[in-house]
Structure 1
Amino acid sequence: MRYIITGATGMIAISIMNLLKENNEIYAIVRPGSSKIKNIPVDSNIHVIECDVSDLCNVSLPDSDVLFHLAWKGTIDGRDDSYTQLDNVKYTLDACKLAKKSNCSVFVGAGSQAEYGLKEEALNGNMSVDPVTGYGVCKYTAGKLSRIFAQNMGLRHIWVRILSVYGPGDNKKTLISSCIGSILNNKPFDTTEGNQMWDYIYSEDCARAFIKVATSGVDGKVYTIGSGKIRPLREYIEIIRDNINPDFNVGFGRRAYNKNQVMYLKADISELVIDTGFVPQITFEEGIKRTIKWFRRNN
């Protein structure tokens, strides 16, 4: 099969490529001049296409089967930059057009738990949403509009709302990456009390879920991707510390919770499991060892 992936230098996209590269052809769309191109696996089945997400309408690719749309500007620092976030809605529709132009039959779009807003229950694709950031509002809008767009063009459309993902190649500004980097370099790591109940999923498992929904997901459905298991955020941090330097002093409680801090984050993956057979395979204990190993090599 042939796959198109936007946002191909990201952690999830790279994990998808690693799972698919042996028996499939992949067109990896990356921002021109990106320093992260070096992270893309070198393989004869992976073709790097330099094209900004704002220019997707002008790229031509061979006929393909599935388009995974993961590109999104302003995921870390620009979450409340409404103009940037709104541009991403258009880019998502452009990705749908590219899927149709390339004769794909399936469009899989990457949404976010930010679409839900503040919830105190497990998250599923059927519950009401009330996003509290520009990022969350525009992810939700992109999902709804691209579904209409895809249906009108005869594409199977699946939207996935991703919870917290970690793994090799993660953005250095995420909590997991910041924690690992600080402990490896023996620099202070100050955080909240860590009482948030949190769901983390390893990047390879998340990639496996993407592939499963592309193959077996129900047209028009929204799936939530996570491990389906939670524990206090403090416990995750302690596991990281104990794997690197058990004597490191984590600054728990030295930072206040953010405004609109999510305190409970758990994926209800029951529909994902029923429809696709997806089951997370990597425990946090195993996944974090792999992640720390990667950071040691690339720190």
Structure 2
Amino acid sequence: MKKVLVTGATGFIGRHTIAPLTDAGFEVHAVTSKISVNSTDVDGKCCWHTMNLLDPIQVKNLVSTIQPTHLLHFAWYNIPGKCLVAEENFLWVQASLELLRHFREQGGERVVMAGSALEYDWNYGYCSEVLTPRNPHTTYGVCKNALQEMLKAYTEITKLSSAWGRIFNVYGPYDHPKRLVSSVICSLLRGESALCSHGNQLRDYLYVEDVANAFVALLESNVAGEINIASGKPVAVKEIVLKIAKKLGKSDLVKLGAIVASAEEPPLFAANVSHLSTEMSFIPKYDLDKGLDEAIIWWQKQLN
């Protein structure tokens, strides 16, 4: 029986992997720091485990009890506006390595961890797993990149099967309300102005269910190493904002240029997804229009 341990299972992406993992025949064990209403409405059947992943004793006991064959690791400190420079990033590198070690010692066979596009040198704009240098500009990116390097070295020594899914921009249900797509939707639904920068930045957005499905496909595959999880189709931020406004009939509330864009922001930051599409034959189910429709419907329900 395939048994998968999913960390960050009530998080933005992790929660969307439960149903496809169940459909794929996994016995799913989901970790959350606190059982709450957020875990009761996750689609898919799983066994919930409440624990603190930063406690090595709890991690050891959980892994030895479950003895999972697969590990899908999303848990991290990821609060918008804080996570990029937070000291908690270093704690999560240590905790992730402890989890990895215990997983292997208990006979684990395949691990997939969630990385970040912020590991790349964003000055290169169009990012390839093979060609683009890693030169992170944030603490978050530094720590994710360090974990990726250690995962690679560890799996080479132990012969553990592993992959690293490098996430770009994600949107959809359960997103943090301060992120771009959710923030614009919520402001417009409340009848408030959506304050934005000039919006000329080109970014790579993928709907959250597609991101989750890509991770499940990666876990099921034998693909090793780094894989960009993205659409590969950069779009101007202002195009996304204006699409949302048009769908809601509130284009007059969009205020482009109201916020000064950071001088450090690259004009283009997007993914080469040739490995995702060729090695895994992965095709997203949602285009931008359909994904935004779903996000709007979800936020309308939440605000009502």
TM-score range, shorter chain: over 0.9
Aligned length: 296
Which residue pairs with 2:266 in the alignment? 262
Letter in 1 for 2:188: I
Bigger Cα displacement from structure 2, 94-103 vs 280-289: 94-103
Does 2:88 align with 1:91? no
Provide, for residues 140-194 of structure 1, a one-character-per-residue CA deviation record: whole Å limited to 9, x for no partner. Answer: 0011112222333332111111000111111112111111110111122111010
Which residue pairs with 2:49 in the alignment? 49
Do the aligned partners of 1:217 and 1:276 also contact (CA within 8 Å) in 2?
Answer: no
Which residue pairs with 1:107 in the alignment? 111
Unmatched 5+ residue regions in structure 1? Answer: none
Does 2:62 align with 1:59? yes
- SS of the residue corresponding to residue 26 of structure 1 reads strand
Which residue pairs with 1:168 in the alignment? 173
Provide, for residues 199-220 of structure 1, a one-character-per-residue CA deviation record: whole Å limited to 9, x for no partner. Answer: 110111111211222122432x
Alpha-carbon shift at residue 104 of structure 1 (Å): 2.4
- SS of the residue corresponding to residue 239 of structure 1 reads helix
Unmatched 5+ residue regions in structure 2? Answer: none
Bigger Cα displacement from structure 2, 259-268 vs 97-106: 97-106
Do the aligned partners of 1:118 and 1:260 also contact (CA within 8 Å) in 2?
Answer: no
Which residue pairs with 1:134 in the alignment? 139
Letter in 2 for 1:237: V
2:253 and 2:174 map into 1 onto residues whose CA distance is 25
Q: 1:77 to 1:103 in 2, by over 3 A?
A: farther
- SS of the residue corresponding to residue 223 of structure 1 reads strand
Q: 1:40 to 1:58 in 2, by over 3 A?
A: same
Which residue pairs with 1:4 in the alignment? 5
Do the aligned partners of 1:79 and 1:85 also contact (CA within 8 Å) in 2?
Answer: yes
Letter in 2 for 1:244: L
Provide, for residues 50-86 of structure 1, a one-character-per-residue CA deviation record: whole Å limited to 9, x for no partner. Answer: 1112022342342323211100014423334452111
Alpha-carbon shift at residue 274 of structure 1 (Å): 1.8
Provide, for residues 114-153 of structure 1, a one-character-per-residue CA deviation record: whole Å limited to 9, x for no partner. Answer: 1113234421212211111100110100111122223333
Letter in 2 for 1:108: V
1:258 and 1:35 map into 2 onto residues whose CA distance is 37
Which residue pairs with 1:27 in the alignment? 29
1:263 and 1:9 map into 2 onto residues whose CA distance is 33
Q: 1:69 to 1:277 in 2, by over 3 A?
A: same
Which residue pairs with 1:283 in the alignment? 287
Do the aligned partners of 1:2 and 1:25 also contact (CA within 8 Å) in 2?
Answer: yes
Do the aligned partners of 2:119 and 2:141 also contact (CA within 8 Å) in 1?
Answer: yes
Provide, for residues 7-44 of structure 1, a one-character-per-residue CA deviation record: whole Å limited to 9, x for no partner. Answer: 11112111111222233321110113556334423x5x
Do the aligned partners of 2:5 and 2:72 also contact (CA within 8 Å) in 1?
Answer: yes
Letter in 2 for 1:212: A
TM (norm. structure 1) is 0.92
Which residue pairs with 1:274 in the alignment? 278
TM (norm. structure 2) is 0.91
Provide, for residues 237-292 of structure 1, a one-character-per-residue CA deviation record: whole Å limited to 9, x for no partner. Answer: 11111112234421100101124213212110101222111122210100111111
State, as a whole percentage, how many aligned pairs show the same letter: 26
- SS of the residue corresponding to residue 173 of structure 1 reads coil
Bigger Cα displacement from structure 2, 157-166 vs 12-21: 12-21
1:129 and 1:162 map into 2 onto residues whose CA distance is 14
Q: What RMSD in Å do the two structures reach over aligned CA positions?
A: 1.9
- SS of the residue corresponding to residue 122 of structure 2 reads coil
1:57 and 1:270 map into 2 onto residues whose CA distance is 37
Query: Which of 59, 73, 80 pairs up with 1:69?
Result: 73
2:201 and 2:162 map into 1 onto residues whose CA distance is 33
2:236 and 2:98 map into 1 onto residues whose CA distance is 39
1:175 and 1:150 map into 2 onto residues whose CA distance is 36
Which residue pairs with 2:201 in the alignment? 196
1:17 and 1:195 map into 2 onto residues whose CA distance is 36
Q: 1:141 to 1:16 in 2, by over 3 A?
A: same
